[in-house]
Amino acid sequence: MTDGFRLGAVIITMGNRPDELNALIESVRNQRGPAVELAVVGNGAPLPALPADVRSVELPENLGIPGGRNVGIELFGKDGRDVDAVLFLDDDGLLPNTDSAELLRRAFEEDPALGIVSFRIADPETGVTARRHVPRLRASDPLRSSRVTTFLGGASAVRSKVFAEAGQLPGEFFYAHEETDLAWRALDAGWLIDYRADVVLFHPTTSPARHATYFHNVARNRVWLARRNLPAPLVPLYLGVWFLLTLARRPSGAALKAWLGGFRAGWREQCGPRKPMRWHTVWRLTRMGRPPII
């Protein structure tokens, strides 16, 4: 039976999408089966009126995406222990199907080693899933579910035991690559990650480059990702590959300048504790088609 598996959903918001936020909350409340607990975090912004049963907090400053989500996790108790798994949902997303919670409960209960589920993101107007929203190298068929090595932060569910064993999201990152950091630590702790094409989140197709700090944070956090998680011999190899890939993509002058600034910052600034993954995990990632050098 899946009734005993408790789900909670964390939504962080800047307070600038009240209509979309209310629609998302309603789509969560419309899920079949036991109610999904809700927690909303005002990330440096006041919150609109919310239903009485929604847990909420207004933060005095914007802690970034991972920092805000970590606060949301704690609204469900230490490491989210009041629930068995935590959903992360972007505040301009929507669950179009009413069986998503049931599918997630069943997935987690049927596979005790499953730690994280990444949903399929689809544009609400076209139904199209962008390649970058399929968390694997072979992304041409977004309707194919598979085991993967990372996940999509705003359309995912994480078993609470993962936080207890592998830690929460890296708050230092603020934005970019925080999911891969948690994914690598979860995999190193023995958990599995699935991409589920049948669990859908509607989300408008947008470019991440719309954020002013995108290129800086992508580069800085890529360095931090390596410094925190990779065995020492792989750090220069991983970052060298990504440096060449960035140049090959021929970014604009302004974008390249921001990227190089972020790359330098990644070496100068503190990135949090270092805990290199085991070589066994490196081999696991390689066998799954995603060696940690790319």
CATH number for the domain spanning 162: value is 3.90.550.60
Q: Are residues 201 and 79 in the same domain?
A: yes
pLDDT given at position 101: 98
Inside any domain, residue 62: yes
pLDDT given at position 143: 96
Inside any domain, residue 225: yes
Q: Are residues 234 and 202 in the same domain?
A: no
pLDDT given at position 2: 44
Inside any domain, residue 20: yes
Supply the pTM of this predicted model: 0.95
List average pLDDT for each run of 10 residues in the chain, which is 294 residues long: 81 94 97 97 95 96 97 98 98 97 98 98 94 91 96 97 98 97 98 98 78 86 98 97 93 92 97 97 95 90
Question: How many domains does one find in the chain?
Answer: 2
pLDDT given at position 211: 55
Q: Are residues 119 and 178 in the same domain?
A: yes
Interatomic CA distance for residues 284 and 252, integer angstroms: 36
Interatomic CA distance for residues 46 and 50, integer angstroms: 11
Q: Are residues 269 and 164 in the same domain?
A: no
Q: Are residues 63 and 129 in the same domain?
A: yes
Where a domain ends, among 184, 206, 228?
A: 206
pLDDT given at position 1: 39
Q: Are residues 117 and 225 in the same domain?
A: no
Asked if 2 and 33 count as a contact pair (C-beta separation under 8 A), the reply is yes
Q: Are residues 202 and 225 in the same domain?
A: no
Domain range holding 227?
213-287
pLDDT given at position 273: 95
Inside any domain, residue 280: yes
Interatomic CA distance for residues 85 and 283, integer angstroms: 28
Q: Are residues 54 and 129 in the same domain?
A: yes
pLDDT given at position 209: 57
DSSP 171-201: GGG-SSSHHHHHHHHHHHTT-EEEEEEEEEE
Q: Which residues pair with 146 in a beta bridge?
A: 195
Where a domain ends, among 148, 180, 206?
A: 206
Task: Calculate the alpha carbon distances from 117 to 48, 191, 237, 253, 286 in Å.
Answer: 29, 11, 29, 37, 20
pLDDT given at position 227: 98
Q: Are residues 80 and 105 in the same domain?
A: yes
pLDDT given at position 236: 97
Q: Are residues 159 and 16 in the same domain?
A: yes
Where a domain ends, among 156, 186, 206?
A: 206
